[in-house]
Amino acid sequence: MNRPLVLLTAAVSVVGAVSMALAPIVSTVGRDLGTDPAHAVQATAAFGFATMGSALFLAPRADVIGADRALGQALNIQIVGLVLTMLAPGLWWLIGAQALCGIGAGMALPAIYGLAPQMAKPGEESRAVGLVLSGWVLALTAGVAGAGFIAEYLGWRTVYGLFLTLALAVRIALRLTPIEAARGGAPTSPLTALRVPGIGRGLFAAFTLMLSFYGTYAFLGAHVGDSLGRGSDGAGYVTLVYGAGFGLSLFLDRPLARLPQRLTGTLAFGGLVAVYAGMALSGATYAALLILALCWGIAQHAGLNFVVSRLAALDARQRGAIMGLNSAATYVGVTVGAMVFRGPYEAGGLVACAGMSAVIALAGAVEAALPRRA
């Protein structure tokens, strides 16, 4: 077993869980801090905007100091943010603490995605990226399902205390593990990365992947709870099945890596088109959601692996800046998805959202299938 890749997977799990933990427990946090839950959501927004800014302007440091050192610094920042979050006496303290966590996340994820191909044997880069991305399975279960359960019975501060412990463990393990990354390159920035051939289409693929995903996922809980009357636990089961599919997709990484990259991307986005179309045509019934969620996780993992591997291979000298742009595109897709899909959801429910996601994923499939300039 490749120990550096295992640690990078663990780092994704912790950073990802921190990024998703607040949303399902925001009501509990708001009540404890004596504020309206709607106001507490500002902390989630602060995390997202800080992550986006950090990914754009701090992630490129990895190209100069090395992605391993950048990851260490990012975890240090997030550890401080977790301590402050756990101790937050009021809303504005929480907002500042979550912004600090977001800065750490915006540096950490691009560094991890940039390190993964460097830790792999020649020809195994895509599989290494797929393994590291599987950390999102643990992040999903811990950040969405686990956080809600722990907050309910042990308090929301315990959630962040647990994340702090895990982050410290990963940081210490990384310190004790020899990881040599490329460093000493010329300073990079979002502007230099945007001049890399192929970056525009690569970012388009990243944006369509996350816009189609979050546009439907953001309203999944509301649909299951309000329209289907299943409650929050019902949405949790759908999420867990999705996570299972995401993890099972690991077994497809090796055979997919043998295929031409254009074909891999076309298959991944084509699978997502089929999933979203299935949701729309089935009326998004609970039984259909449970079945399709497994396929959704498999296709989403394949799509994410395609996007990250594609971008990471564009220019090794600017990998930090490129991965930073990828993270920024991801968070733009998440934010825009929640905003743009609200109208369709109010008009036609999750069926309308799934229909829109199918169209967006189809655009991603067409882009992936088109030839690229040499």
C-alpha pair distances (Å), 129 with each of 9, 188, 295, 368: 9, 23, 20, 19
Would you state the pLDDT for residue 299?
96
Listed residue (24, 30, 15) closest to 147, CA to CA: 24
User: What is the CA angle 220-207-347, rounded to 5?
Assistant: 40
**Contact between 227 and 351 (Cβ < 8 Å):** no
More confident residue, 35 or 358: 358
Please give the Cα distance from 226 to 86 (Å, whole number). 32
Q: Which of 138, 107, 140, 113 has its CA nearest to residue 128?
A: 113
Residue 301 pLDDT exceeds 60:
yes
| Predicted confidence (pLDDT) per residue in 64-119, tens digit | 888 889 999 999 999 999 999 999 999 999 999 999 999 999 999 999 998 888 88
- Output the pLDDT for position 231: 63
Mean pLDDT of the chain: 88
How far apart, in whole angstroms, are the C-alpha atoms of residue 26 and residue 32?
A: 10
Of the candidate ranges 192-206, 228-242, 299-313, the one whose mean pLDDT is the lowest: 228-242
Q: How many CA atoms lie within 13 A of 49 on its CB side?
A: 10
Range 320-325 average pLDDT: 90
Nearest to 361, CA basis, from 186, 209, 178, 136 = 209
- Report the alpha-carbon distance of residue 269 to residue 265 in Å, rounded: 6
Q: Is the pLDDT of residue 235 over 90?
A: no
pLDDT at position 233, please? 66
Q: In this model, does residue 41 exceed pLDDT 80?
A: no
**Phi and psi (nearest 5°) for 350?**
-65, -25
SS3 state of residue 323: helix
Structural domains of the chain in order of their starting residue, each with its CATH number: 1-177 (1.20.1250.20), 198-374 (1.20.1250.20)
Phi, psi of 183 (to 5 degrees): -150, 175
Residue 325: per-residue pLDDT: 93
Task: Give the model confidence (pLDDT) of 128-176 as tens digits.
Answer: 888 898 888 888 877 777 787 788 789 899 999 999 999 999 999 999 9
Phi and psi at 195, nearest 5°, equal -90, -5
* Other beta carbons less than 10 A from residue 241's beta carbon: 19
Q: In the structure, what pLDDT confidence band is assigned to residue 373 with cuts at 50, 70 and 90?
A: low
| 354 neighbors 284 (Cβ within 8 angstroms) | yes
CB 110 within 8 A of CB 59: yes
Could you give the 3-state DSSP secondary structure of residue 58?
coil
Tokens 């395609």 identify what position?
Answer: 306
Question: Residue 374: is its pLDDT beyond 60?
Answer: no
Specify the residue for token string 């192929």: 198
User: 180 or 10, which is more confident?
Assistant: 10
Q: Which residue is listed with tokens 């230099």?
A: 192
Mind listing the pLDDT tens digit for each residue in 263-289? 999 999 999 999 999 999 987 788 999
